[in-house]
Amino acid sequence: MAAKVSAFILTLSTLWGSRVVSGVLSTPTNVRLTSSNLNLVLRWDPPDPPVSGLLYTTEYSSPTQDYKVGCANISTLECDLTNFPNSIFRYGKYTGRVRAQLGTNSSAWMGSNQITMDRDSIIGAPNVSLFANGASIEVSIKDPVFRISELRSVYHLATYNITYWKAGQKEKAQSSSTLQNRVVLNDLAPWTKYCVQVQINTGRNPNHSVPSAAVCESTDNEEEAPWVAAVVTFVVMATAVAVVAAAVVYRKRISNFLCPKDALPQHFKEYLLAPPNSSMYLDMRNSRPPKEVFDPVSIVAGGGTLEEGLPLEASGTSCSKQPDTT
């Protein structure tokens, strides 16, 4: 029985000896500090062999400040220290470290490499768009987005290395360098497809940026494009001027054509202006007004008579109701 217990203890010690020694866990491995587009991320691998249920705490420091806590009690294998922007400076130097935790047990701290933000940060690819104009191509470049600043605020003298070539002939590519983010490629062959790729060179960061994706565009006919547009514009303007001038000069004719004035035949005019010769019309025109026929009327009131031709008020009488004589 004692032998079995001893064997069990020996096996348990073999399995856990590399993980926990005197209550201390093994440290995380491959701890590294990285930067891309001026972010700051601490990454690591779990202890070897790994233990389930581990949590991690990270810290970071610079030559001007002691270690400060970054992410605490996390289960992931990375911590984005850029989430603490008040402590990250675009020209700063930083070192990180991480430890594992399991319950009340903690591993020792495992340190990382040192990062100088503006010298070691990997710069992402710029965004490139093309616009063809005759036998020229305009290249428009947009800088990658930085986490804690902008590219021109950190790298004041950054240049764009532009490489361009005919489609399918990259081995014959040509290059140019400029500070401007809008460049025109001249003297290109007409009706030809060109591809363009751009990298950023900061001068202070020893590495160029990630190259942009190759973008392609076709040129037009350099001789035809400008004068065709000019001729079309001239024809349209000349036509408009001619129409306006004709409308002014021939406005009366145009008005008569659109609104014609019809004239009556002469015999219609004579017939309408001649006096009527109807006998009825002549009798009506020469007849005298008819004589009015009427009978005189007398109004009797109060047994008396009103004088003919005098109003009722002038006679001094009034109307009164007479009693029935029936």
Give residues with Cβ within 8 angstroms of 209, minimum separation 6.
Answer: 122, 123, 124, 125, 126, 144, 199, 200, 201, 202
Q: Which residue has better confidence, 269 or 317?
A: 269
Give residues with Cβ within 8 angstroms of 245, minimum separation 6.
Answer: none
Mean per-residue pLDDT, 315-321: 47
Q: pLDDT at position 92, please?
A: 94
Q: Is the pLDDT of residue 287 over 90?
A: no
At 245, is the secondary structure helix, strand, or coil? helix
Confidence grade of residue 300 (pLDDT, cut at 50, 70, 90): confident
Q: pLDDT at position 220, please?
A: 85
- What topology does CATH give the domain 127-218? Immunoglobulin-like (2.60.40)
* Cα–Cα nearest to 219, from 240, 242, 239, 192: 192
Share of the chain above pLDDT 70, in %: 73
* Dihedral-angle region of residue 62 (phi above 0 means left; psi in -120 to 50 means alpha; beta otherwise): beta
Q: Tell me 274's DSSP state.
A: S
Tell me whether domains 22-120 and 127-218 share a fold.
yes
Question: Would you list the DSSP string of 146-204?
Answer: PSSS-HHHH-TT-EEEEEEEETT-GGG-EEEEES-SEEEE-SPPTT-EEEEEEEEE-SS
Q: Which residue has better confidence, 255 or 314?
A: 255
Q: Is the pLDDT of residue 18 over 60?
A: no
Q: Is the pLDDT of residue 161 over 90?
A: yes
Question: How far apart, in whole angstroms, are the C-alpha atoms of residue 6 and residue 215?
Answer: 71
Q: Which residue has better confidence, 78 or 318?
A: 78
pTM of the shown model: 0.59
Mean per-residue pLDDT, 256-270: 68
Q: pLDDT at position 301, please?
A: 65
Q: Which residue has better confidence, 179 or 281?
A: 179
What CATH code is assigned to 22-120?
2.60.40.10
* Cα–Cα nearest to 31, from 64, 59, 73: 59
| Distances, alpha carbon 210 to alpha carbons 38, 125, 184, 230, 313, in Å | 14, 5, 22, 43, 125
Domain ranges of the chain: 22-120, 127-218, 227-252
Q: pLDDT at position 222, please?
A: 54
